Every structure is written in C-alpha cells, then in structure tokens.
Chains A and B, each alone.
Chain A
Amino acid sequence: MKESHILNIETLGKTFSTSNGGSIEALRHVDLDVDENEFLCIVGPSGCGKSTLLRIVAGLEQMTKGRILRRGLEITGAHRDVGMVFQEYSLLPWRNVLDNVALGPEFAGAPKKARRETALACLRLVGMESFSRAFPHELSGGMRQRVAIARALANNPDILLMDEPFGALDAHTRILMQKELLRVWEAHRKTILFVTHGVDEAIYLADRILVMSARPGRIIDIFNVDMPRPRRRSDPVYGQLAEKILNLLEKEAALSFGG
C-alpha cells in the first residue's frame, strides 16, 4: 500500500443470491488502488457490476470476497467520509433545498446554525444558493443533481462516489454539469469515483479510466488520460482514446450478447 492511496480494493468479489435459489456473480477479483485527489471514471457494458462496485465502497452492499481499505482501515458500512450521488433523484421531497443539503450535518448532530451555514456554503459552491427555499419538485433535473452534489459535499467527505449522476439529464445540461463538476473538484480536490456509460464523459472528466468486462465484472484495462483541462472534444488525442475504449467495450458487449 502506497502512502498516497486513499482507497485499496483487494480481490473484491460479489455474488448475489436470487430469490429462486440461484446466484449471480456480479464482480470477480477486482483489484484497484485509488490515489488521493484522483478523478477516476469507471466504464463498462450495462449490468457489469460497476454500480455494485460503488455501492460496496459506499457501504450499502456487502462484499462476498476480498476487502476494501480506506486510508488503511477496512470499510465495514456506510461512512460519513464517503459521499455518494445517485442517478435517480434522491432529494427528500418534503424538505426544501437547504434542509436537504443540511441533512448530513443534521445526522451528525451539528447545531442548527452551523449546519445551515455549511449547507449554504455548499449550495453556493454549486451555484444554487438562491434556490435554498425551493422544494425539489420545483427544480429541473440538472438543478436537483447540483443540490444532490451539494448535499454530498456538506459532509465534507474525502471520497465522492458518483453513480451515473448525469445519466438522466439531457445532452446539453449534461455537458454543463460536467464542467461544473470539474470546477467543484478543482476547488475542493476530493477523490472521485465516477461511474458512467458515456466514454466521452469519462475522457472529458477523468485522470484515469477503468474499463470493466461484462458480467461477472472484472477490470480489463486502465487508461491514463494525459490531456490538460479543460479538454477539448476536438482534440485528436480525445478521439483516439475514445476509439480505443469503444472498441474494447464493443468486444465486451458482443461477448455478453453471445452468452
């Protein structure tokens, strides 16, 4: 284990048992070290277990094999230092934006004034402070996800897990949100694990891209993205990398279809 690793995933395996007594192997032998402040994207065919991987790191799901160390300590359950943003809208519909963002500090028992201040600071960071009194149903999809990001940041986690957070947004909003996320990441330097099925999105955002196989999910390749930010999608390196990863994924998809 290197000093700069914030996360070590060691020979991780996950098998789900189904209701009819069978079992599905979702992840097999996943080994991964994540550097401090790294932006890591995970791509793979659908159903390859990338979301499951994230849910295990978040402590929402039990692993069946292997272990995960966060700063050298084994992860056993959900932890305040690991934040997560989901693809589905996850704000509490009966709370306004401010009270949604203050949820983490509230669970931690922070006094009312302190948690409001934290929440407002995080809302400012994502440009949503003027909507603090609004309710989730009054916001667009992109705005809801900004609030969800602010809510995860309010716990000041050092790892931020993002499970296709922009998957439900339209293409234009998605590109804006990617820029916004990079701005927040550069200001705060969290370690981010970002699951996506958009190769373009991964290349735009990531320091490293991890490509997973069809089920059972394994890591089949890792690409370093050595382009300075902000990245231009017209850059030839961008296109070459995209092609490489897409070819790899296409082969995987064919395999999973062929059974």
Chain B
Amino acid sequence: MRWKSFFLTAGMYLIIPALFLICWHVAARQVQNEVILPGIGQVAGLLRHPAQDLISMGSLAANVGISLVRVLAGYLLAVMLAVPLGIVMGYYRPVFKLLNGFLSLFRPIPPLAWVPLVLAWFGVASLASVMKVESGPSYIFLNNLKFSMIFIIFIGAFYPVLTSSIHGVANVRRILLDSAHVLGAGRRDIFRKILLPAAAPSIVNGMRIGLGVAWMCLVSAEMLPGSLSGVGYLITHAYTMANTDIVIAGMISIGLVGAGLDLVFRLWEEKKFAWTRMAR
C-alpha cells in the first residue's frame, strides 16, 4: 500500500516531464536539424559532463559558477540595502511617505532598461579595475565582476526585498508592540526582538522572490559588453555559433540552479517559520 502510494506520487510528478521529453524527441526526429532542435541525447551528453570545455570558452560548470558569484554579489548588496530600509520605512510613517513616492517611480522600470545608462556610467569597469589588480588568477576572478552587471542584478532583486520588508513590518500586530513597550523594551529591543522576527517570514519570502528575479536578470546582465563568461554569455555566444545544443544545456542549467536556490529558501522557511502557519 505504501509502495503503491509512493509510485502514484512519483508518477504524478514525472508524468508531465516525461510527456514533454517524448514530444521533444519526436519533434527533433521530425525536424532533423540540430540548429533548430537538437536531440535529447546531445543535450544530455553536455549536461552529463559539465566540466568539459565548450567552444573554447570554458566549461558549463565554470560558467554557471561565475554567474552564481555575480548574482550573489548583486543580490547581497540589494538585501543589505533593502532590508534595513524596508524595516525603517515600514515602521516610521514619515520615512515611508518621504521615500515611497520616489522609489515607486523606479519600480516599474525593467532592469534591462537600465542597460544604456549603466554602460555610460560604468562601462567595462570591474572590481579588478577599482582594486588595481592587473594580473594573476585574482584578476581573472575580479574582472568578471563588472559593475554594470552587478547593478542590473541589484535593481532586479532590490524591489521585491524592499516591498516585502515594508509589508512585513507594517503588518506586525500592534498588540505585540504595545506589550513590549509595557514590558520595558527600548528602541533597539523593539527592532531586534519584535519587528525583525515578526516580519522575518515576509522578509525571507521577499528574499526568495528577489533571488529568483536576480537570477532571471542574469542573461541580460551577461549580454552586456565586456562580458566574456557566465552562463548567459555562453548561451548568446553558442547562439551566434549555431550550437543550439549548448544553448539548451545552458537554459536547463539556469533552470536547475534557479529551482535549487528556490528550494533552499523554501526549506529554510519551512523549518524556521513553522509558527506562522499555526499562529492566528
């Protein structure tokens, strides 16, 4: 009985992907053109050997790794700025009124629309050019962190995190603040022991969405001039060389990594904020 239900559940998850793969396979055989649609085996082969060097631009794994570092740099910057700002804006009405109108003007602008301006500002400047590192392995690493890319990723992650932080703090039940005040809480206690934990589920949810958006901004960021690596660049470069199998392998890697990051956040939320589901 248990095995039966296990297979049923597994079947439910697998049935659509399996159908999708079958369609892909059939379509690829019909098309008979690997630039339009390469076969499953070809793409799977690339994914099975992620450390293999591709079209003289490094391996899939190395490019995904570089992309991850970029995304994390822009994302962490966004979190570090948006969370404190959101908490203050959520708690102090006047600060909210002061900043919200201004910030709302920039919210609807897609990160990609910033590209011309960002290039005018930063060009191909990277951390390496600021830190005056001009050779060696640290140069290669730092030179991959272009300001223009980090800025695009930052913009993408900033708003979801900001909005959810404001929302989380503004919705903290008044009674919790009142009782903390009566118990003798100072301003620091209110922020650290009441507002932050009470708003944490909302903030972490925003951080999860923000990371997803940051990851989605990746390809556009890596299409910027000066970029010679990263999974986004790999895809565009493979496209110009008509290596559609690499394009698809790159897309699948982006999907897998994005879903993996999302899963990590979900597990964290599940574990840490079990009380939100139970509390009234």
What is the interface of chain A, defined by CB distance below 8 A to chain B?
A: 58-60, 78-80, 82-84, 86, 88-90, 92-94, 103-104, 106-108, 135-138, 148, 151-152, 155
A93 touching B183 in the complex, CB below 8 Å, given contacts A86-B178, A137-B280 = no
* Docked CA distance A10–B178 (Å): 24
* Docked CA distance A60–B189 (Å): 16
* Docked CA distance A138–B275 (Å): 10
Residues of B contacting A104 with CB < 8 Å?
A: 183-184
Residues of A contacting B5 with CB < 8 Å?
A: none
A107 touching B183 in the complex, CB below 8 Å, given contacts A60-B178, A90-B175, A92-B176 = yes
Say yes or no: B280 contacts A90, CB within 8 Å. no
Say yes or no: A155 contacts B184, CB within 8 Å. yes
A84 touching B279 in the complex, CB below 8 Å, given contacts A78-B184, A155-B184 = no
Secondary structure dominating the interface of B = helix
Residues of A contacting B176 with CB < 8 Å?
A: 90, 92
Q: A106-B193, A137-B278 are in contact. List 12 more A-B contacts (CB 8 A).
A: A82-B182, A86-B175, A86-B178, A89-B175, A94-B198, A103-B193, A107-B180, A135-B278, A136-B279, A148-B179, A151-B179, A152-B182
Nearest-neighbour CB distance to chain A for B153, whole angstroms, equals 31
* Docked CA distance A84–B176 (Å): 12
Residues of B contacting A89 with CB < 8 Å?
A: 175, 280
Say yes or no: B183 contacts A155, CB within 8 Å. yes
A92 touching B184 in the complex, CB below 8 Å, given contacts A84-B179, A137-B279 = no
Say yes or no: B194 contacts A92, CB within 8 Å. yes
A107 touching B182 in the complex, CB below 8 Å, given contacts A93-B275, A135-B278, A136-B279 = no
Residues of A contacting B181 with CB < 8 Å?
A: 59-60, 78
Say yes or no: B197 contacts A94, CB within 8 Å. yes
* Docked CA distance A54–B184 (Å): 17
Chain B CB within 10 Å — which of A88, A92, A136, A152 has the most?
Answer: A92
> Is B185 among interface residues, defined by CB-CB distance under 8 A?
yes
Considering the complex, give the chain B residue whose CB is closest to the CB of A92.
B176
Q: Residues of B within 8 Å of A, CB-based: how many?
A: 24
* Docked CA distance A107–B36 (Å): 66
Say yes or no: B275 contacts A103, CB within 8 Å. no
> Is B108 among interface residues, defined by CB-CB distance under 8 A?
no
Considering the complex, give the chain B residue whose CB is closest to the CB of A104.
B183
> Is B186 among interface residues, defined by CB-CB distance under 8 A?
yes
Contact with A along B155-193 (1 / 0, CB 8 A): 000000000000000000101101111111110010001
Considering the complex, give the chain A residue whose CB is closest to the CB of B185.
A107
Say yes or no: A90 contacts B275, CB within 8 Å. no
Considering the complex, give the chain B residue whose CB is closest to the CB of A157.
B182
Residues of B contacting A86 with CB < 8 Å?
A: 175, 178-179
Nearest-neighbour CB distance to chain A for B189, whole angstroms, equals 5
**Within residues 107 to 153 of chain B, which ones have a CB less than 8 A from any CB in chain A?**
none
A80 touching B197 in the complex, CB below 8 Å, given contacts A137-B278, A137-B279, A137-B280 = no
Contact with A along B266-280 (1 / 0, CB 8 A): 000000010110111
Residues of A contacting B276 with CB < 8 Å?
A: 93
Nearest-neighbour CB distance to chain A for B100, whole angstroms, equals 18
* Docked CA distance A103–B186 (Å): 12
* Docked CA distance A89–B176 (Å): 9
* Docked CA distance A79–B178 (Å): 12
Nearest-neighbour CB distance to chain B for A168, whole angstroms, equals 11
Q: Tell me which of A80, A82, A83, A88 contacts B175 (CB under 8 A).
A: A88
Considering the complex, give the chain A residue whose CB is closest to the CB of B188.
A107
Say yes or no: A92 contacts B197, CB within 8 Å. yes
Chain B CB within 10 Å — which of A78, A79, A138 has the most?
Answer: A78
Residues of B contacting A148 with CB < 8 Å?
A: 179
* Docked CA distance A155–B278 (Å): 28
